[in-house]
Amino acid sequence: MVRVLVLYNTPADPEAFDRYYNEIHIPLARQLPGLLRYTVSRNLAALGGDAKYYLIAELDFASPEAVRAAFGSPAGRETAADVPKFATGGSSLMTYEVAEA
């Protein structure tokens, strides 16, 4: 399995971020072809120091090819283009293979 991890920095207006993310962005992202699982982590707390991120999203796909196909699709392009509309604090995106330990 391959995971796409999106780390959202603290936005200028957290309430507006949450509203937009829940009402607009999540429904867009759920349309990604091949999406197996979509989880969102909120209320982050660092185990030492300050929490740098406001929200973390994890999107799981079967393979790297599935990720490329999803984000190359019209839904993927629309989802990616939507991020600057609400992520005023910026965001980071990475992908990696998930393996059982």
Q: How many whole angstroms separate alpha carbon 23 and alpha carbon 42?
A: 16
50-92: pLDDT as tens digits: 778 999 999 999 999 999 999 999 999 999 999 999 999 999 9
Q: What is the DSSP letter of 10?
A: P
What is the reported pLDDT for 90?
95
Which of the two residues, 69 and 47, has the higher pLDDT score?
69
On the question of pLDDT at 44 being above 80, the answer is yes
> Can you give the pTM of this predicted structure?
0.91
What is the reported pLDDT for 13?
96
Report the 10 Å Cβ neighbour count for 63. Answer: 12
What is the reported pLDDT for 83?
96
Torsion of CA 33, 31, 25, 23, to 10 degrees: -160
Q: Which two tokens stand for residue 48?
A: 């030492």
What is the reported pLDDT for 46?
81
Q: How many whole angstroms separate alpha carbon 87 and alpha carbon 101?
A: 33
Report the 10 Å Cβ neighbour count for 21. Answer: 22
Arithmetic mean of pLDDT over the chain:
95
What is the reported pLDDT for 19?
98
Residues 2, 62: contact at Cβ < 8 Å? Answer: yes
